[in-house]
Structure 1
């Protein structure tokens, strides 16, 4: 009996222990699910600002009524459960508390009115503004409207310097969001993997089986470049998960014979297939399966996703037929400025409304352009712009003007004429406001002010006109716009550039993106690529998709032993591939090499030619190698190098290497960081976690072709002393010939 009770007690305790274990497991699963379902997002105010120049610091509210606008969105697969605007601001001590305040407005609905305190405080005030989540839509505009008064007198000057309030850059918008399940419907693509209203950097894991083949990785690269194209200015990163399924949305690649472990029991497919399913890891996110019978099917499925996802619907779709687009022509990337005709500014904008502004001192109108880095405008008088604009006429001639600049450098300023001066310029179209004036100007942009990524800026400024001490005749409804038919013309310029130039690669993916589909590009991976190598490849291709606006459908993926794939092509080398196979001999051409066994660094003789500088000519880099050092050191470091291909002249090699796998990811982060990407230039860039050091060292080479006479004069222009000597010699020769002719004529006269 005692033994029976003992056995029964043992079974009971075992059951309790098992139940506790199950309970802990369930609690853990529930906690994981909760962490996925709910999250808190903090948006710093400068990331939401409509003013692109505002990357931190203080937001200024001025005059009797000043406004700051901020924009944010809500994802399709998330619901905002709670929203709080943490506002920190300071204000002028001259403001009248009972008549001065700040309105917080969301989507034209007043959320809160913040009164100016009666007792002035020199420290910034902090106010937490709860936001009714029912006001939040997929796209939202949050506005701060400053109403300020410093006197009860009717002679109050709206431009008085005491009318101010400063919003601190530490202000932020806090959103508590809950992830909600979406239907397994391909018709929602590209959501939930990319959501147009999400302003954060795109991050989508790619799930692959262990030891993925090159064709499978090539299909993954096509998809990553498509997602990068969609992400555009947000930036993108694509972590590679080998036989692991992470929480959250992810994209999976598998064939009937080679697939991640969690798809072991998944039914085989009969052709290129796209399928959306619930993520088994968290039970709420979505997985997009790119499937095929073999690796050829994977490429077809990836192409159909990148080029024709709009026609998809339902949880699963099989591609029965795919006709690929014709190969792209050089320099025809959809996001690049066309070089065969003048381009209308309206073509470069998402909406014509972005070319229109309101108010006395509105934010500038910005037009972003991507220009082929090898456009050669030497000795050009300027890039012609035919500028057309309309505006509400100012009351009288004053300080009202339009200022045009490019990349924060002044191009030209135009005075805005009053209604009395410009009767002949009034618009007579019956569908337009007759109070608007139009103007047209021809402008030349100096070529040296244009880069690979350019921003044309048009800032209208309307002066307040004072008639008397207590009278103000400012116009209430002031509007201005740049006509969408205004054009910029880069046609007719040859293509020629000195390489290597890592700035062109970091900014625009050049020279690989010369063809938007990367048809002349080879990407080389190590023989056994790591997850970091694959992530770097996918992320770089995503950046190129963003640069061109077109997925990388025709690039070639190769191993270091495939020498045929390296000839007559531009080559991108990832990770340790430079230390394998035929590529080992290429290290002698590289200005820097890093790896587990050490770091080999070369230094140029000097950064500029002092003789050129002393003569007052343009400084000329001297990339000749002056010294060589080899180190063995710790810490994270990635190196981006550029050099001419040893296999084919005038072809470019870009190598991305690092001391370890995590350091490769640092390089991807630097290219996406606006504060660091501008420091990547020359032939070698040393990329640290928060710093980039660049050098131009080693041999340079030329790409492109010049017209006959330009090909003669341009090299000579780089050698003014030689040009002067040639001029002297030519003068002596011409003088000698003239002297000989005159002497001959004189001799004939004597004989006669």
Structure 2
């Protein structure tokens, strides 16, 4: 039975089982009352509905640069979303644009559409030519749904005789500072878990997720683990948006007014619950893992998710059920019967990473419909994001096979129309777009020479193209076309054809057969991909070590760190283990994520490059360059410039934190990443850095200092390698770091081969002579 037929079989079996259970459920007896249905929140109709303005610039909506509208590329659209639990009571567009000074006023204008409905026309006046102009236009809020498009169409004229639509004076520049403002209004929702993860997370919301977690005072390790599992689920859902989890003890998050909307999550067991749940009549003890959705007692539009259980194990089961069984939830209260793992995860199977065990179709890499299709004489580039494990070893490889199939509108003649292919803004090749061939298949190889994270010595080669953990494959269709004539005595104007092009979804990229090998410590791999903890998508080979006594800020740091790893792997941390016993954890065959201060027995480790204590801050710096970045490594791990040569100790009051990477003392294939801090101010610095993509991009090397001024990274101490290579490839890789030794071995090999060949020929000659005698 194939994999797909098996999946269909088990899906059908599950549906039949569910239907049989539903049919066999006992019906209510005559005269008995049915089960109570969830009631909608009681809202005073005289109170105004919660409402607030939300403004997003075009830059925040995905337009990183200004947009130039031309005569032959006259349309551009901007997409924005609206949460399902909100409506827009008012909307407006504030457009900043600069028109060409060569345009004819009044008859040149910009049309504005909302969801393909004309909202209005902005005429270009004489005093606007060549100057930045700001215009505000009202948008009809009745047309706004969960996904929306604002389309701008430029109609420009520069002459009234023999006009050429391709003339370079026809342009208007749309600023990325233009913005869309919505007056968002909250909806009154029933307490129904069928909408989960609403209202706690909505993928239509492009902003950062902020979700408070509430515990009883001094939460146990089991409670923290359950919260980390649920936080990792929200982290995997929020992805690039980021997530923040403020932690409170014994109190719900305060609200500014009754109309505020702030959902929150509460963790409670029968014996350890927050103070506001002390009323056992209102919140009775449970006999199984239970999740319940209730209203905030002080804010009727805010919801509270209660995660309850008899003990800590029940909390973990409830958290996993929320992440795995969201499609089964309904009603205001659900009891979890069982959560069972049917098949364990495998290394490097993170959903956010491209598979490396077989060729991958482009259809598996697209993130929205029609991503691979463009139109127009100057179409937008087609881009594909290719995320890879950071330890993929592609050193000195001949190239990565890229099988590209594409179709396009044939040009009227064989001209300079071409398809340009690039990777990470580096040109690969250019293919002609011929008149007769409207479909073509090209088998290319991405000429990869080196990997940033695998090669510890970049002095040997200067690669013309590199591939790393995050890559962008780009296809640019460029059509050459003559669309008119500028001769006044013989005016010819030809409308440009509706040119279209598409990269076929069956195109493939093949990264199978590559080994996994990386030089460590490498905090850039942790910051960008969550490695080594994301090697197993569910973090089943990772242990998080936390202090024996944790503050709310420390728990927030834990939750956001785990959520960040899951955001990069795309899968919740169901296999996460949590402990406060450093001695036991350090002996486990697992990667360790340490939160707090370094263990006492590790402070004397000579490889430590940073130590933060309450009494002093000690920094060990490398020889020579004190700001050696992991991207600028010069030489192998034995290079004296990586050897600590200076030590500085200071006493200061301002906060400082650090991220430290090192090898496990008991397992040479395991790593330790420590998030170091002393007090809440230090941990707030850590939280700010973890949630800031710009600061995380600056994290590299073996240690990253975090201060209010930014992130300072350096590489200190010995390096080690994680992964496995065949012996011959490993030998060649190690010898490549010593070119003189490699040359000497080559000379010795040649001499030895010549000597053996000479001896063999001499033996053959002597044997022939003796045979003749």
Task: Report if TM-score (shorter chain) is over 0.5.
Answer: yes
Give the 5 Å matches for 1:375-454.
375-419=392-436, 422=437, 436-446=438-448, 448=450, 449-454=466-471
Residue by residue over 1:486-539, the C-alpha shift from the partner in whole angstroms, topping out at 9 and shown as x without a partner, is: 111111111111111111111111111111111110011111112121111111
Give 1:604-643 correspondences, 5 Å limit.
604-606=622-624, 622-643=641-662
Name the structure with the higher helix share. Answer: 1
Q: Contact conserved, 1:206 with 1:241, CA < 8 A, in 2? A: yes
Mapped to 2, the partners of 1:444 and 1:65 lie a distance apart of: 31
1:744 to partner: Cα distance: 6.9
Instruction: Give per-residue Cα distances to partners, 1:89-137, cap 9 Å, x unaligned.
Output: 2111111112111122111111121100122465421111121211111
Among residues 329, 346, 361, which one is paired with 2:346 in the alignment? 329
Instruction: Report the 3-state secondary structure (helix = DSSP H, G, I; strand = E; otherwise coil) of the residue aligned with 1:144.
Output: strand
Q: Does 1:516 align with 2:537?
A: yes
Task: Report deviation, 1:742.
Answer: 6.4
Higher mean C-alpha deviation, range 64-73 or range 226-235: 64-73
- Determine if the alignment matches structure 1 residue 182 to structure 2 residue 200: no
What secondary structure sits across from 1:84 in the alignment? strand
Which of 106, 110, 117 is matched with 2:118 structurally? 110
Counterpart Cα distance in 1 of 2:321 and 2:101: 63
Is 2:275 the counterpart of 1:256? Answer: no
Structure 1 spans left out of the alignment, 5+ residues:
1-28, 423-435, 611-615
CA apart distance, 1:690: 5.8
CA RMSD of aligned residues (A): 2.8
Aligned twin of 2:740: 721
- Report Cα offsets for 1:462-496 as digits up to 9, x if no partner: 22324654435454322111111111111111111
> Given that residues 291 and 297 in structure 1 are in contact (C-alpha distance below 8 angstroms), is that contact kept between their aligned partners in structure 2?
yes
Once the two structures are TM-superposed, the CA of residue 168 in structure 1 deviates from its matched residue by 2.5
How far apart, in 1, do the equivalents of 2:534 and 2:558 lie?
A: 15
TM-score, normalization: structure 1? 0.87
Deviation per CA, 1:157-188, whole angstroms, max 9, x where unpaired?
Answer: 22222212122233222222222221100000
CA-to-aligned-CA distance 1:326-373 (integer Å, 9 cap, x gap): 320111112211121111110112344211112122222221122111
Superposition TM-score, scaled by structure 2 size = 0.84
Provide Cα deviations, 1:373-397, integer angstroms capped at 9, x if missing partner.
Answer: 1111222111111111111112222
Structure-1 residue corresponding to 2:40: none
Match of 1:130 in 2: 138
**In structure 1, the residue corresponding to 2:617 is in which secondary structure?**
strand
Correspondences of 1:64-103 after superposition (within 5 Å): 65-103=73-111
Q: 2:57 aligns with which of 40, 44, 62?
A: 44
User: Aligned match of 1:228 in 231, 235, 247?
Assistant: 235
User: Structure 2: which 5+ runs fail to align?
Assistant: 1-42, 256-261, 451-465, 629-633
Distance, in Å, in 2 between the alignment partners of 1:562 and 1:283 is 48
Which structure 2 residues correspond to residues 99-498 of structure 1 after superposition, within 5 A? Answer: 99-120=107-128, 123-153=131-161, 155-246=162-253, 247=255, 248-265=262-279, 266-419=283-436, 422=437, 436-446=438-448, 448=450, 449-466=466-483, 468-469=485-486, 470-473=491-494, 475-498=496-519
Three-state SS of the structure 2 residue aligned to 1:354 is coil
Change in CA separation of 1:389 and 1:256 when aligned onto 2, cut-off 3 Å? same
Task: Give yes or no for contact 1:251–1:289 (8 Å, CA) kept in 2.
Answer: yes
Number of the residue aligned with 2:663: 644
Note if contact 2:483-2:496 (Cα within 8 Å) is conserved in structure 1.
no
1:602 is the counterpart of 2:620: yes
Equivalence for 1:4? none
For structure 1, which segment, 470-479 or 320-329, has the greater mean C-alpha deviation from structure 2 after superposition? Answer: 470-479
Q: Aligned-pair distance for 1:682?
A: 1.2
Preserved contact between residue 383 and residue 447 of structure 1 (Cα < 8 Å): no
User: Aligned residues, how many?
Assistant: 692
For residue 315 of structure 1, report the CA deviation from its aligned partner: 0.2
Cα 1:519/1:300, change in 2 over 3 Å:
same
Compute the displacement of 1:743 (Å).
6.8
Q: Which residue of the partner structure matches residue 574 of structure 2?
A: 553
